[in-house]
Chains A and B, each alone.
Chain A
Amino acid sequence: MFKYRKRVFAVSAAVALAASLAACGGSSDSSDGDGTSGAPTSDEKGGTLNYLIFAPIEHLDPQRVYVGRDITNLSRTVYRTLVAFPISDDPEVANTPVPDLATDTGTNEDGGKTWSFTVKDGVKWEDGEPVTCEDFKYGASRAFATDVITGGPNYILSYLDIPTDDSGLPAYKGPYTGEGQELFDKAVTCDGNTITYHFNKPWPDFPLAIAGLHMMDPYREDKDNGDKSNFQIFSNGPYKLDGAWDKASGGTFVRNDNYDESTDSPDLRRALPDSIVFNIGQTTETIYDQMIQDSGDAQTSVTSQSVPPPYYNQIEGPVADRSVNIDSPYTYYLVPHFRTEAMSNPAVRQALAVSTNADAYVAAIGGDKAAGVAESIVNPAVVGYQENPAFAGSNAGDPEAAKQILEDAGVSMPVKITYTYPSSETNDKAAAALKDTWDQSGFEVTLDGLGDTYYDVIQKPTKESDVIWGGWGADWPSAITVTAPLFDSRPNLTKNSDGQDYGAYDSDEFNALVDEAQNASDLDAQTAALQQADVLLGEDVAYIPLTTTKFYMLYGSKVTNYTTTPASNGYPDLGAIGVES
């Protein structure tokens, strides 16, 4: 569907609640209290693990992959990074990068504007050639070819110290045309095996960013054929692709003979199965028919799909022993549209927040196995998470309190508002649940469920919606990838588009806090500024949190060490999982 993880998440979640993506983090609430399961533990190597996925993977190119599930699967198998998140149930440990292809977690100078890493010796590509600093430099350059390398994360375009041209884009146009190459060569330098990145502003969480995304991965120039390389995998990890990848049906990873275990860490990759088969395309229902039956290949299978709510009652007894139910890294939320007459009034926004029945919303989308009520737009797994005080207290909606707020503000009732959301059977029910309490609270709500054009419509400045639904997950476990991209009006609000600031929230005070966070030279200062920014968003009712979605997944009876960690974005962690031979 869409090419990037947050958007894909939002749509897929909206349509089916069968999340197929992830971002960083994800606290645990499984059957045994954390992301680990009751699966047998074993260090035995061998066997074939099956990974069942519904929707095709959009990109396998490291600079283009932007779906949390795919990022983590590729990290554990074929694409090693400078630093990576370790396998751990403890979010603090799992959110702290450790060295992978680099000798350490990097050193920074100039208040976080310059970062250096030294590439380990002895790390090889699947053809036996060494992974070099130049490979890292080339990999970083590819994102600048925005006409070829599309769909991937583009943070580096705004961070790397390269001037912009008249269009506002970097003057360097990527390695294919070579235009502006000298600018890039100054911004990224190699000295022996040490690579140095020069940024135009501090990037204190740079290690988190490159552990969370593949945008700075090494790439061999002689293997680069642009878009033709989208489904090509040239590995430096413990596995390699056997034959070609078929986008519609998947592919098989087998052991990479040129992988040297001694250059890696068991905290990142245990590489237990001899092969991993990615089986793409079966519907979530068919996947779960087989997983529940637990026969044949299903016994050695894991899946990225969540149990569909109609199947919940089948997850009992021995089947329930093979299940985990954990918080996902994603949050659903509402934004009031500040341009409309109704929502430009702070009292109306306040009344809307007070009357939002998040409990009913959770019940409508599948109950507590599908989601939990959120207390902030920032996911609990993100570094520096705190409950937003503006949304403390009952989550059931309080019609009387809402009416009182409207009455005190002299607002005549009912306040007519339109709620816009992506329509689906589940979302229609959830919208009706919200409307029910809002209608009792002095509002008269018109539901506006949209189809596939949802994001095109809500990004238009001319939209007439008063309240808009959204879904989001952090790109790496920092709120800088949540509140800043969603509410900083400067990059979002243009003549033709509201970008991701769907509610057209425009606050100089908030933008100043984003600047403070972006210019902070250390993580603590950045986190403090972002926490303050979230409090301000709550006070302004720039958003109303709805739910933290949950993953509810089964695994086969012959799967060992089954775990879903914050490092694996809540999905089965292929770094740890094995199968009984």
Chain B
Amino acid sequence: MFAYVIRRVFIGVILLIVMSLVTFVLFFASPVDPGRYACGKNCSPAQIEQTNKALGYDKPVIEQWTDFLKGVVVGREYPDDPALRAAAPQLVVECPAPCLGYSVVNSVTVNEELKERFPLSLSLALAALLMWVTGGVLFGVIAAVRKGTIVDRGIVALSLIFYAFPAFFIGLFLLKFVAIKWEIVPVPVYTPIAEGGLGLWLQGLFLPGLTLALLYMAGYVRMTRAFVLESMSEDYVRTARAKGLKSRKVLTKHSMRAALTPLVTMIGLDFAGLMGGAIITETVFNYNGLGKLAVDATVTYDLPTIIGLVLLLGTFVIVANIIVDVLYAVIDPRVRVG
């Protein structure tokens, strides 16, 4: 098992390095001149050149990339120009390892940006996860148990409806009508636990979390239903029934345990993806998490932030994959890894 995990981690690191290179190359393949972009209006070619130099964009792409990797390992100092750093120490920004770069658009290191935005995205992902897993599994099991009844059909139909609506529609509906027009709940504002306590934190996460949960829940209802039905026809379930176990015990002890295994894979991957930012939901609710940061960074050609986000999201997915694989063995005794 240990060797397996080490091997997976090693492959993950290689993958991240390749991802960073691809992002660099894609950025510089675009016709946008980042120096012109940052320099401002009325800039002469000489000024644009100087801006490119100050930002380090005058170097070959590979050199910039290796500088970036070096920063990840040993840290970096900004501005990029060593002569300027020596002449004006007050300008120097220390970026300790693992340094993901410095955003000239936001005048801050990428690490600080990510650190600042991550708690919101994590909170939102947790709130959504709680809602969709609870709702998805509960309604999925109910539908399976009541297979063929009106309850089953109703749950399946509703889940299809929510599945069909895009996140921006659900989010806008909840924001515009439930919060603003009907004033059923306050217009959501994210308040960290440290600032407003648990109550305000949960209140702020309710509508955005529900937006994501409704979207994800629909899929989970249908899958839970299918997995539970499938497992209920397995031999070991039939055996359990034959032994005289109560239906509830058969369901919880035998059917669901097997049915949950594939769901855990999905939960892990979905949660990891959400931690990297729920772009649409964060944008609709003006929640400054990693998703909104990604949108802003893309619009402003903020290369360091884009790379930082790509690597962070990539790391989440890779780590989640490893954890999920390991969890398989814990949840389902039939599975053995390694």
Interface set, chain A 244-274, CB cutoff 8 A to B = 246-249
Find out whether the CB atom of B88 lies under 8 angstroms from the CB atom of A176: yes
CB of A556, distance to nearest CB on chain B (Å): 14
Whether A163 is near chain B, meaning CB under 8 Å from some CB there, is no
Question: A66, A147, A155, A224: which contacts B84 (Cβ < 8 A)?
Answer: A147
Residue of B nearest to A249 (CB): B288
Interface set, chain A 471-500, CB cutoff 8 A to B = 485, 491, 494, 496-497, 500
Find out whether the CB atom of B46 lies under 8 angstroms from the CB atom of A168: yes
State A152–B50 Cα separation when bound (angstroms): 15
Find out whether the CB atom of B40 lies under 8 angstroms from the CB atom of A150: yes
Residue of A nearest to B93 (CB): A228
| In the complex, per-residue mask of A232-251: 1 if CB is within 8 Å of any chain B CB, else 0 | 00000000000000111100
State A453–B36 Cα separation when bound (angstroms): 12
| In the complex, per-residue mask of B72-111: 1 if CB is within 8 Å of any chain A CB, else 0 | 0000000101011001101101000000000011110000
Find out whether the CB atom of A147 lies under 8 angstroms from the CB atom of B87: no
Chain A residue numbers with a CB within 8 Å of B91 are 148, 176, 225-228
Interface set, chain B 130-189, CB cutoff 8 A to A = 175-176, 180-181, 183, 187
State A283–B30 Cα separation when bound (angstroms): 28
State A178–B87 Cα separation when bound (angstroms): 8
Interface residue count for B (Cβ, 8 Å)?
50
Given A151-B38, A248-B288, A283-B286, A226 contacting B45 (CB threshold 8 A): no
**Main secondary structure on B side of the interface with A:** helix
Whether B299 is near chain A, meaning CB under 8 Å from some CB there, is yes
Chain A residue numbers with a CB within 8 Å of B104 are 150, 227
Given A147-B54, A167-B46, A66 contacting B81 (CB threshold 8 A): no
Find out whether the CB atom of A6 lies under 8 angstroms from the CB atom of B41: yes
Chain A residue numbers with a CB within 8 Å of B296 are 56, 248
Given A146-B50, A167-B46, A177-B84, A227 contacting B79 (CB threshold 8 A): yes
CB of B127, distance to nearest CB on chain A (Å): 19
Which residues from chain B sit less than 8 Å from chain A, CB to CB? 30-33, 36-47, 49-51, 53-54, 79, 81, 83-84, 87-88, 90-91, 93, 104-107, 175-176, 180-181, 183, 187, 283-284, 286, 288, 292-293, 296, 299-301
Ordered nearest first, which 10 A-B pairs have the shortest CB separation?
A: A147-B54, A176-B88, A4-B41, A226-B91, A230-B107, A248-B288, A281-B286, A151-B40, A167-B46, A177-B87
Which residues from chain A sit less than 8 Å from chain B, CB to CB? 1-7, 56, 58, 66, 146-148, 150-155, 167-169, 176-178, 224-228, 230-231, 246-249, 281-283, 286, 289-290, 293, 295-296, 452-453, 456-457, 485, 491, 494, 496-497, 500
A154-B40, A227-B79 known; 19 new pairs, CB 8 Å cut-off, are: A3-B38, A6-B41, A7-B41, A150-B38, A150-B39, A151-B40, A153-B40, A168-B44, A226-B91, A230-B107, A248-B292, A283-B284, A289-B176, A453-B30, A456-B36, A457-B31, A485-B42, A500-B41, A500-B42
